[in-house]
C-alpha cells in the first residue's frame, strides 16, 4: 500500500510540474482566416459587360496559423503561416506555393523590438497601407489604379529579414531586406524597405519607402521567383522590363467621433536597365482622399477619390491620367459576418507605353486591383459588387 501511495504521489508531482511548465511557457497557436465572395458587375471588358463571382474582395479569402511562446524576460518566439485561396474553385492563390501570403518565424522582445525571417509584407505596406485607402476602401475597388504604388497586399518579399522597433511615445520604425540569393550578384533580385509611423491622439501618420530589384533580368517580365514582385496591369505593362521599381508613400488620418478623414500620396518610379524595353525613367504619382462614417454600430460607410498621373517620358507628350471614385457600404450582422456593397468608377486620359518596345497606346481604365487581368477596353470602367464576408 505504501508503494502504491508513493506512485500516486509521484504521478501527481510530475503532473503538477508539467502544468507549471505549460503555464509558465504560455505558448499558444491560433487558427484564423476569412471567407469572402461577391457577385461582380463590370462594363467595358472587350466592349461588353460581365457578371461573375470573385473571391476575396472585402477581405482576402485565407486560412492562417500564428503562434507565440513565452521565453521569459519579455521575449517570445513567434510564427505566422498564411495561405490565400479562391473560394469559388478551391485553388490556392499562387500555384505551387502553400503559404503564399505570409510565412515567417522570429523573436520579439518588449524592450528591444522584433526580428522575423521568411516571406513577409514590407514595412512600406504595413505602415503606410494601414492608414491608406485599402484599409477602409478594400483594395478590390479602392486601391489606387492597378495598385501601381504597391499600397495593397500585392507585394510580398520572400527570403527576407525584418526588424521592427518597440513603440516609443507613439512612434515606431521598421526595416526589411530581401535577399536576391543570386550567386556572384547578391544585389540581383534583392529588396529593401524602410518605414516610420507615429500615432498621437486622434492623428495617425506614416511614411514608407521600398525598392524592388528585378530578379529575372531586365529584359524579362517581373516575376516572384526572386525576393519580391509587384502588380502588373494595363497601367504599367510597358514598364515590367524595368531594372528596379522604387516606391515612396505617405499617409495621414484624423478621427473624431464617428468620422475619419485621411489623405495619402505615392510616387512609383520604374527605372530602365540594360535590355529594358524603354529608355527613360517612368514615374506615376497619386494623390488620394478617404473618409469613413460609422452610421450605426452595424452600418459603416466609406468613400474615396484618387488622381494618378504619369510623367512625360519615353516619347509620351500627353501622359496618362486616371481619376477614380470608390464607395463602400458594410452591414455587420456580428463581429465576424457582414454583407457589403462596393461601387467604383474610373476615367482614364492620355497615353502610356504598351507591351511591345516603343509602342505608345491610349491609357485605359483599371479599377483598383480587382481588374488588373480584365481592364477596360476604353477610357472608363465601372465596377459594382455585392458580397458576404465571414471571419473565423
Considering the domain boundaries, does residue 11 fall inside one?
A: no
**What's the domain range around 45?**
27-391
pLDDT in tens, 277-319: 999 999 999 999 999 999 999 999 999 999 999 999 999 999 9
Q: Look at residue 231 in the predicted model and tell me its pLDDT.
A: 82
Residue 186 has pLDDT above 70, yes or no: yes
Q: Look at residue 187 in the predicted model and tell me its pLDDT.
A: 77
pLDDT in tens, 341-367: 999 999 999 999 998 887 999 999 999
Residue 156 has pLDDT above 70, yes or no: yes
Q: Look at residue 20 in the predicted model and tell me its pLDDT.
A: 38
Q: What is the arithmetic mean of pLDDT over 106-132?
A: 97
Considering the domain boundaries, does residue 165 fall inside one?
A: yes
* All cell numbers assigned to 65: 496559423
Q: What is the arithmetic mean of pLDDT over 257-263?
A: 97
Q: Look at residue 228 in the predicted model and tell me its pLDDT.
A: 58
Q: What is the arithmetic mean of pLDDT over 182-203?
A: 90
Considering the domain boundaries, does residue 299 fall inside one?
A: yes
Structural domain count, the chain? 1
Predicted confidence band of residue 95 (pLDDT cuts 50, 70, 90): confident
Considering the domain boundaries, does residue 3 fall inside one?
A: no
pLDDT in tens, 222-233: 444 445 567 889
CA nearest to 27, candidates 102, 81, 77 = 77
User: Max CA-CA distance within the chain?
Assistant: 98
The CATH number of whichever domain residue 340 belongs to comes to: 2.40.160.10
CA nearest to 201, candidates 169, 173, 166 = 169
Considering the domain boundaries, does residue 237 fall inside one?
A: yes
Average pLDDT, the chain: 89
Residue 202 has pLDDT above 80, yes or no: yes
Considering the domain boundaries, does residue 19 fall inside one?
A: no
Q: Look at residue 19 in the predicted model and tell me its pLDDT.
A: 38
Residue 374 makes CB contacts below 8 A (sequence gap 6+) with: 42, 45, 50
Considering the domain boundaries, does residue 8 fall inside one?
A: no
Residue 131 has pLDDT above 70, yes or no: yes
Considering the domain boundaries, does residue 5 fall inside one?
A: no
Amino acid at each position: 500500500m505504501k508503494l502504491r501511495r508513493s506512485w500516486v504521489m509521484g504521478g501527481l508531482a510530475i503532473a503538477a510540474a508539467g502544468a507549471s511548465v505549460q503555464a509558465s511557457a504560455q505558448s499558444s497557436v491560433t487558427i484564423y482566416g476569412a471567407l469572402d465572395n461577391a457577385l461582380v458587375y463590370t462594363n467595358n471588358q472587350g466592349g461588353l459587360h460581365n457578371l461573375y463571382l470573385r473571391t476575396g474582395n472585402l477581405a482576402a479569402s485565407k486560412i492562417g496559423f500564428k503562434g507565440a511562446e513565452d521565453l521569459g524576460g519579455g521575449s517570445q518566439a513567434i510564427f505566422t503561416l498564411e495561405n490565400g485561396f479562391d473560394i469559388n474553385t478551391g485553388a490556392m492563390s499562387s500555384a505551387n506555393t502553400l503559404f503564399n501570403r505570409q510565412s515567417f518565424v522570429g523573436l520579439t522582445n518588449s524592450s528591444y523590438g522584433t526580428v522575423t525571417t521568411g516571406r513577409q509584407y514590407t514595412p512600406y505596406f504595413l505602415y503606410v497601407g494601414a492608414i491608406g485607402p485599402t484599409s477602409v476602401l478594400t483594395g478590390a475597388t479602392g486601391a489606387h489604379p492597378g495598385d501601381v504604388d504597391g499600397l495593397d497586399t500585392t507585394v510580398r518579399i520572400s527570403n527576407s529579414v525584418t526588424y521592427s522597433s518597440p513603440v516609443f511615445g507613439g512612434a515606431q520604425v521598421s526595416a526589411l531586406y530581401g535577399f536576391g540569393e543570386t550567386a556572384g550578384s547578391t544585389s540581383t533580385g534583392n529588396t529593401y524597405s524602410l518605414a516610420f509611423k507615429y500615432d498621437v491622439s486622434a492623428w495617425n501618420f506614416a511614411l514608407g519607402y521600398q525598392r524592388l530589384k528585378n530578379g529575372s533580368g531586365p529584359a524579362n517580365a517581373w516575376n516572384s521567383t526572386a525576393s519580391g514582385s509587384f502588380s502588373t496591369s494595363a497601367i504599367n505593362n510597358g514598364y515590367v522590363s524595368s531594372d528596379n521599381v522604387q516606391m515612396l508613400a505617405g499617409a495621414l488620418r484624423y478621427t473624431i467621433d464617428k468620422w475619419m478623414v485621411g489623405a495619402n500620396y505615392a510616387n512609383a518610379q520604374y527605372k530602365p536597365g540594360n535590355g529594358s524595353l524603354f529608355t527613360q525613367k517612368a514615374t506615376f504619382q497619386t494623390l488620394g482622399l478617404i473618409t469613413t462614417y460609422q452610421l450605426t454600430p452595424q452600418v459603416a460607410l466609406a468613400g474615396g477619390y484618387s488622381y494618378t498621373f504619369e510623367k512625360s517620358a519615353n516619347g509620351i507628350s500627353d501622359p496618362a491620367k486616371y481619376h477614380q471614385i470608390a464607395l463602400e457600404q458594410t452591414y455587420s450582422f456580428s463581429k465576424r459576418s457582414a454583407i457589403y456593397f462596393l461601387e467604383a468608377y474610373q476615367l482614364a486620359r492620355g497615353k502610356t507605353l504598351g507591351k511591345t518596345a516603343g509602342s505608345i497606346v491610349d491609357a485605359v481604365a483599371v479599377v483598383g486591383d480587382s481588374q488588373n487581368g480584365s481592364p477596360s477596353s476604353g477610357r472608363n470602367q465601372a465596377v459594382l459588387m455585392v458580397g458576404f464576408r465571414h471571419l473565423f
